[in-house]
Amino acid sequence: MALSLFDEETNMEAPIPEELPLLPIRDLVIFPYMVFPIFVGRPFSIKAIEEAIESHDRYIFLALQKDKDIEEPTKDDLYEIGTVATILRMMKLEDDRIKILVQGVARGKIKEFIKEDNLYKVKLEVLEEPKPPEENIEVEALIHSIKDLLDKSIALGKQVLPDLVEIIRTLEEPGKLSDLVASILDLKSPDAQKILEIVDPVERLRYVHDLFIKEVGLLEIQHKIRTAARESMEKDQREYFLRQQIKAIQEELGEKDERQEEVEQYRKKIEEAGMPEDVREEAEKQLKRLEKMHPDSAEAGVIRTYLDWLVELPWSKRTKDKLDLKRAKRILDEDHYDLEKVKERILEYLAVQKLKKEKSMKGPILCFVGPPGVGKTSLGKSIARSLGRKFVRQSLGGVRDEAEIRGHRRTYVGALPGRIIQAIKQAGTKNPVIMLDEVDKLASDFRGDPASALLEVLDPEQNREFTDHYLGVPFDLSEVMFICTANRIDTIPRPLLDRMEVIRIPGYSEEEKLYIAKNYLIPRQLKENGLSQKYVEFTDSGLRFLIRHYTREAGVRSLERQINAVLRKIAKEIALKGKKKKYRITKSLVKKFLGAPLYMPEKEKSDEIGVVTGLAWTEVGGEILKIEATRMPGKGQLILTGSLGDVMKESAMTALSYVKSKSEEYGIDPEDFQKYDTHVHVPAGAIPKDGPSAGISIATAICSLFMNLPVRADVAMTGEITLRGKVLPVGGLKEKILAAKRAEIKDVILPKDNKDEVMEDLPPFARKNINLIFVDHIDQVFKIAIKDFEKKINKKGNKES
């Protein structure tokens, strides 16, 4: 019992009535001479207390319920023998309950159970204790033994009120002693009730003595457990001592501890994960290590994190490919316009999968190369949707640390797997579509080369056993479809490029942008701005004006922003005026909403000596490149300005050398090259430029300069030149031709070796109103671009003859 107190001076002079109010108690036995507080809340119990105070000299009968959950007990629900008690003190609490302090007086037996007006009463028989023999050696021995047990239990840590200890030590009456000792024992209610029912004091003393011996024995075991646990640890590890104590107690009781449950959970997860045999062995090895470790050690935390990664990876989970080619084509066409090569490649993959009977083929590794805004990233999502696979995107732009790809070793604090394994976990399947965005912008420094770390990831022959540094066990990536994206191909390391199937996604022509805007961008932006086609209509002329004069890009990202800007202006007008009207977006309305045009046509108004219109490819599409050449008295030096790269400088030197070698043929005085310095400049000077495609443009500018003949302003050109005057092929021709078309240039000179490529990639509508001229020698370029070139050569030939 939690509290016992005996007051020798409390004498009950009033006789105990034969009929008393009944207070049923749920889980407590009050012994005679014991003082204890009781909280009362049931209405009939409160009424019994009031009745006892008013009419029964504060006497009340306490009886234990056999089942504590019964709210309204009957006679059969109560034990027959209880305790007559007197109410020493009563206090009303705020929650309508009553707290009383009672003292046991005597044992009583229920003779009759009475219930009247929500009040329980009993007629009882007070049980008188028989007097023990005056001199009994057994009784004396029991009394001495109980007092010794009391001292021993206190020494072993039992908490007893000091006043009560003194009273028990001075008592010699077996009845009172057994009741008071029973009140301090840790007994369950049925055991305490059994003591209450023993009327004979000597027999009761024997029974209490036996129970006290058992309790002291349990205290000794607990003390032994504590001592054994304390000896097995260091003095300063108090927390560890407490856990060991709990463990020892649970072992005595045959119960599992939390740590064992955690180990069992991990073991179950390992079985359900479907791991390969070697991975399973490693997981079980680490689990055994965890089982032997202290749960709060740093190493245990590292092993837990490692096991969490192992059991959560999809070792055997995969999505089933949806091999419906018509459905896949419909999804790809819904999301993207044109891009026929990419769509064709995906349909080929699905067709092969459908025809194969055995296990799934290796996932293709594609690399989409093209300018920003042409839909490379969104195309990856469409491919995943058409295949019915999960899609995960990882941006590699600016990644410098090899560990970002392969993961950190577990010896480092805060180590984690690399981005590839993280993407697999995020997808939750073994065969997702993983997009590695901006693979051309990987960098390298003292932390390693992430591009080299990708070599294993993107090799279908090696990635079957890709080993992340953190996991330390192989994971099969052969079923993953990897899609890389890049703006340019020359910055991707050659070994990495060799492992990928490169699909070039060129920029869009004006007609393509018009179609994409009408069918994709405008409907999407109307929805985002809370408008509908009922109130807004873009005219073709208005859209063309917006495309030509407010955007300059290969993709459509900037175009979408400008469309959004127009629709925001309309939304604002509708919100302010409160009424909706039909808005027809024309040139004038575009100008009103977006202000003055940002870009004007890039063409020369007149033919000039030494000024050539070249074509360049940039990461954002094709550009017009003006190349200027002039000469001044000097010593024959070549001066190059305009932030030119090494390749472009070499092209300029090659061009000058070729014109020098043909000076007599072209009617140029060879002495001019010694008397004059040649200055070649490419505006704008602040923008770095490089590449071989300006070779024929520089040669034309130098030739025009020394022949003193103007170059046609309506001709643009691109191509590389050799010392023999050969025109070699270059890349990015679609973007360059579209740039010339934007600048309203009529004739475009291109290398002859690029003819098949151009005719295949360039849609028919992009070839309208433009004359494509294919050449294989620089003399053909001079004849087309330099005015009166042939006339001057022929005139010179006639003079010589």
Residue 91's DSSP bridge partners are: 99
Q: What angle do CA 440, 444, 446 make, to 5 degrees?
A: 175
Q: Token pair of 705, please?
A: 């300069």
Catalytic residue among 153, 651, 693, 697: 693
CA distance 657 to 699: 9
**Amino acid at the residue 509:** S
Tell whether 718 is in a known binding site. no
At which residue do the structure tokens 């009394």 appear?
A: 143
- Active-site position among 430, 689, 736, 741: 736
Helices 376-387 and 340-355, axial angle in degrees (round to 10): 20
Helices (H), 529-645: 540-550, 557-577, 587-594
CA 460 to each of CA 77, 471, 486: distance values in angstroms, whole numbers, following the listed order: 78, 20, 20
Provide CB contacts within 8 A for 461, sequence distance 6+: none
Burial class (CB in 10 A: 0-12, 13-18, 19+), 354: exposed
Cis ω for the linkage preceding 300 (within 30 of 0): no
378 is catalytic: no
Please check if 133 is assigned to a binding site. Answer: no
Three-state secondary structure call for residue 219: helix
Contacts 24+ apart (CB under 8 A), 752-758: 752/727, 752/776, 753/728, 753/729, 754/729, 754/730, 757/733, 758/733, 758/734
Cα–Cα distance for residue pair 85/61, rounded to 1 Å: 6
Whole-angstrom Cα distance, residue 285 to residue 57?
75
Q: Which two tokens stand for residue 169?
A: 């030590």
Q: Check the annotation: does 370 bind a ligand.
A: yes
Is 371 marked as a binding-site residue? Answer: yes
Is 375 flagged in the annotation as binding?
A: yes
In 3D space, the residue among 125, 126, 128, 98 whose CA is nearest the CA of residue 23 turns out to be: 98
485 annotated as belonging to a binding site for a ligand: no
CB-based contact 336:382 (threshold 8 Å): yes
Residue 573 burial (C-beta neighbours within 10 Å; 0-12, 13-18, 19+): middle
- The 3-class SS string of 516-558 reads HHHHHHHHHHHHHCCCCCCCEEECHHHHHHHHHHHCCCCCCHH
736 catalytic per annotation = yes
Backbone angles phi, psi at 682, to 5 degrees: -125, 105
> What's the sign of the alpha-carbon dihedral 610, 614, 618, 620?
positive
Q: Provide CB contacts within 8 A for 750, sequence distance 6+.
A: 717, 718, 719, 733, 737, 758, 772, 773, 774, 775
Annotated catalytic residues are 693, 736
Report the binding-site residues. Answer: 370-377
**Known binding residues for ATP:** 370-377
